[in-house]
């Protein structure tokens, strides 16, 4: 099959984010991640959708206390928390706030900009819009698995670049949860074609 020539968005990248960036409230970090560029092994794109999970939030994995699975959430900020979802997919979070706060931001969708061919191979798809438009899709496209759990976000294979400008951000209820389903802690880039689902209007 002929692969459509990808009209790659302009690769505008701010400076690399350091761990200090994550040492703040998830509600401060989450909107600032919209527009940032996430790379894993050089493959990735612009973050267009995230969700905040605070430790006081019944939907957070850390809500019930520390367990082997969520241990990374209880560690220092600036690290990746990866877990298996529905037995099939991986999902990646960035740990925020102070050590022990056990709060994190789930990365839910990217606009692909780097390594499109690698993403297409891993996903078995050509359509750019479907490569990273969901938390399980983007980990597959980037090759993120449990091996990335606990890795620092400011060192290879991870790289996160600050957003080059402040984007137009939408908020709404989080996706796919039953507890605290009304908290408006989903953040997205307004009008993006790469969201996992549209935001309610």
Partner DNA sequence: CAGTGGATGCTCT
Partner DNA sequence: GAGCATCCACTGT
What whole-number distance in Å separates Cα of residue 116 and Cα of residue 58?
37
Nearer Cβ to DNA (156/198) = 198
Closer Cβ to DNA, 15 or 87, answer by number = 87
Nearest distance from C-beta of residue 191 to DNA, angstroms: 15
Q: Is the peptide bond before 201 cis (omega within 30 degrees of 0)?
A: no
Query: Min. distance of Cβ 102 from DNA in angstroms?
Result: 9
Distance of closest approach, residue 176 Cβ to DNA, in angstroms: 2
Q: Which of residues 35 and 134 has its CB atom nearest to DNA in the complex?
A: 134
Task: Indicate the residue among 32 and 51 with the shorter CB distance to DNA.
Answer: 51
Residue 123 CA to residue 139 CA, distance in Å, equals 10
Nearest to DNA of 14, 118 (CB atom)? 118
Measured CA to CA, the distance from residue 49 to residue 194 in angstroms comes to 9
Where on the chain is the footprint of DNA (CB under 7 A)?
A: 51, 53, 59-62, 64, 67-70, 73, 81, 84-89, 91, 93, 104, 106, 123, 125, 130, 134-138, 174-179, 196
Burial 39-56 (b: 16+ CB within 10 A, else e): bbbebbbbbbbbbbbbbe
CB of 193 to DNA, least distance (A): 12
Query: How far from each other are the two terminal CA atoms of the chain, in whole angstroms?
Result: 38
Shortest distance in whole angstroms from residue 65 CB to DNA: 7
Q: What span, in angstroms and rounded, lies between the C-alpha atoms of 73 and 120? A: 31
């Amino acid at each position: 099959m002929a692969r459509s020539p990808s009209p790659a968005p302009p690769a505008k990248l701010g400076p690399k984010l350091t761990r200090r960036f994550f040492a703040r409230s998830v509600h401060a970090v989450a909107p600032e991640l919209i527009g940032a560029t996430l790379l894993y092994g050089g493959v990735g794109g612009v973050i267009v959708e995230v969700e905040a999970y605070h430790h006081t939030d019944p939907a957070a994995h850390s809500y019930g206390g520390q367990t082997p699975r969520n241990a990374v959430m209880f560690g220092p900020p600036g690290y990746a928390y990866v877990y298996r979802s529905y037995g099939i997919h991986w999902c990646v979070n960035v740990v925020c706030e102070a050590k022990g706060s056990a709060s994190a931001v789930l990365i839910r969708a990217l606009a692909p900009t780097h390594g499109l061919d690698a993403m297409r191979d891993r996903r078995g798809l050509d359509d750019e819009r479907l490569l990273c438009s969901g938390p399980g899709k983007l980990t597959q496209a980037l090759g993120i698995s449990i091996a990335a759990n606990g890795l620092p976000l400011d060192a290879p294979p991870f790289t996160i670049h600050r957003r080059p400008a402040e984007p137009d951000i939408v908020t709404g209820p989080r996706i796919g949860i039953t507890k605290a389903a009304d908290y408006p802690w989903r953040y997205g880039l307004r009008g993006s074609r790469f969201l996992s689902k549209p935001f309610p209007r």
